[in-house]
Amino acid sequence: MNKNKCSKGRNHICLVVPGAYPLLAGKNPKNIIGPDVRVFLLAKELMKHDFKITLITFNKEEVIPVDYIDGIRTINIHDNAYHLRVLYIIVKVFRMWNAMHKAKAHICFHSGGITGPVSLFCRVMKKKFIYGIASDALVNRGLITRKIKGFNRSKFSLGIFSNWLDIKLADAIIVQSEYQKTMLKNNFGKNGIVIKNPFPLTEREMPEKANPPIVLWVGSMAEVKQPELFVKLAEAIPEARFQMIGGHSGNQELYDWMKDTARSLSNLEFLGVVPLNEIDEYFGRASILVNTSMFEGFPNAFIQAWMHYVPVVSLNADPDELLCENGLGVCSNRFEQMVEDVKILLKDEQLRQKMGKNSRQYVEREHDISNIIKEYIGLFDRIGEV
């Protein structure tokens, strides 16, 4: 992209991504979530196309207020803890607005994390705002069937209102699937733009798989992810080998319980957080990826597994029924069926390899970041010209 093409700073994008600083700085984060990874990868790729990038991140530890890493400017907001929730929210919003004012970007993009302040700032300051839908539950609250941390069922909750505000004030909304696009239109009356999750592809050759096969789980220790079901799966198939990767996601109690419970099982290895630049090794050695979430958006772990010829066995999440229709794995729908599906794949190496090859071909065709970045650039150009 030619720098001269974007006048008035339209090639300057502000990405609000709360947990991206450790990823960018190469530090060991306490947790890694999909939206942070997606925006982090997007920022790195946009730099290759003459975009000026400013990241706004949150950190509980003291960090450099403004940092430059690999040409990317990062404005770090110190995330203090306050006993009064109202005071905490007010301070956080004030600091975010101050950071966005300092960024001086023409377009702001936000997906995941804190909702509300970014869209309001853009409306007040006459900036362009792009909202990325991170979870199916953000466009279809009917998926939230019980009270869980992180997703409030009440339509009067602050989180629900903030998400509604972001959707209504957005100049463009990026969705991850046709399902999200349909729900967004039906429930909010807004049009979404489907852009597949971008990922830098690994080498095409199939990596050497561990023997005996490894069943892998990757995600945050959050209620919506139901990590306890992976423990039950390991108990149900004691002859198989299981590995679990993930951080606490603000739920330290659940994280500690998972860690302690895993120690009691000889066939389950709890690895905690694995840095992004080391995670390929685990996907490469695995033979099956398991997802136990109540609902998802489009998990990065699916893409990472498919890149490494790993089929997915999912309890509920199957974006646009890709697993079934493209032979990329299985959507079990019931835990008892999930146990049987994992057993079948563990016993049938030929079936695993067939699904693995389908998975690699699909991800090369649909998720290569070098192709998808063109869709983002086209969107930024259109938004910037309005």
Query: Would the pLDDT of 62 be above 70?
Result: no
Q: Which residue has the higher pLDDT, 274 or 151?
A: 274
Kindly indicate the confidence band of residue 4, based on its pLDDT and cuts at 50, 70 and 90: very low
Segment 327-377, tens digit of pLDDT: 999 999 999 999 999 999 999 999 999 999 999 999 999 999 999 999 999
Query: Would the pLDDT of 151 be above 90?
Result: no
Task: Look at residue 284 in the predicted model and tell me its pLDDT.
Answer: 97
Q: What percent of the chain shows pLDDT beyond 70?
A: 92
Can you name the CATH fold of 214-366?
Rossmann fold (3.40.50)
Can you name the CATH fold of 3-198+368-385?
Rossmann fold (3.40.50)
Kindly indicate the confidence band of residue 68, based on its pLDDT and cuts at 50, 70 and 90: confident
Task: Look at residue 181 in the predicted model and tell me its pLDDT.
Answer: 98
Question: Does the pTM of the predicted model rise above 0.85?
Answer: yes
Domain spans, the chain = 3-198+368-385, 214-366
- The one-letter amino acid at 28: N
Segment 203-236, tens digit of pLDDT: 999 999 999 999 999 999 999 999 999 999 999 9
The span from the CA of 121 to the CA of 276, in Å, is: 31
Segment 152-195, tens digit of pLDDT: 666 657 778 899 999 999 999 999 999 999 999 999 999 999 99
Written as six digits, the tokens of 123 are 């409306």
Task: Look at residue 5 in the predicted model and tell me its pLDDT.
Answer: 41
Task: Look at residue 160 in the predicted model and tell me its pLDDT.
Answer: 86
Average the pLDDT over 239-250 and give the result. Answer: 91
Average the pLDDT over 98-115 and give the result. Answer: 87
Written as six digits, the tokens of 45 are 């790729």
Task: Look at residue 85 in the predicted model and tell me its pLDDT.
Answer: 65
Task: Look at residue 336 in the predicted model and tell me its pLDDT.
Answer: 98
Query: Would the pLDDT of 29 be above 80?
Result: no
| DSSP string for 109-170 | EE-SSS-SHHHHHHHHHT-EEEEE---GGGT-GGG--S-BTTB---TTSHHHHHHHHHHHH-
Give the closest residue to 261 by CA, choosing from 235, 293, 224, 286.
235
The span from the CA of 219 to the CA of 92, in Å, is: 26
Same fold, 3-198+368-385 and 214-366: yes
Give the closest residue to 314 by CA, choosing from 210, 202, 225, 221.
225
Kindly indicate the confidence band of residue 7, based on its pLDDT and cuts at 50, 70 and 90: very low
Kindly indicate the confidence band of residue 22, based on its pLDDT and cuts at 50, 70 and 90: confident
- Mean residue pLDDT of the chain comes to 89
Q: Is 11 within 8 Å of 3 (Cβ atoms)?
A: yes
Q: Which residue has the higher pLDDT, 13 or 86?
A: 13
| Bridge partners (DSSP) listed for residue 172 | 130
Kindly indicate the confidence band of residue 90, based on its pLDDT and cuts at 50, 70 and 90: confident
